[in-house]
Amino acid sequence: MSTAAPDTGLRTTAPVAAPWHADPFTNALRNGHGPLFLRRSDGWLLPLDVERWCASADAADLSALRRCEGSVLDIGCGPGRLVAGAAARGHRALGVDVSQAAVDHTIRLGGTALLRSVFDALPGEGRWGTALLIDGNVGIGGDPSALLKRVAQLLAPSGLLIAETAPMDVDERVDVHVDDGRGTPGEVFPWARLGTPALLRHARPLGWSPDGQWTTSGRSFLALRRVRRT
Rounded alpha-carbon distances, angstroms, from residue 184 to 174, 181, 191, 194, 200: 20, 7, 19, 27, 36
Residue range of the domain that includes 122: 19-226
* Average model confidence (pLDDT) across the chain: 90
| Residue 114 is assigned to a structural domain of this protein | yes
| Residue 182 is assigned to a structural domain of this protein | yes
| Residue 3 is assigned to a structural domain of this protein | no
| Residue 201 is assigned to a structural domain of this protein | yes
| Residue 106 is assigned to a structural domain of this protein | yes
| Residue 40 is assigned to a structural domain of this protein | yes
pTM score of the predicted model: 0.89
Domain of 177, CATH number, reads 3.40.50.150
pLDDT in tens, 184-229: 777 899 999 999 999 999 999 999 999 999 999 999 999 999 876 5
How many separate domains does the chain show? 1
What does the pLDDT read at residue 8?
44
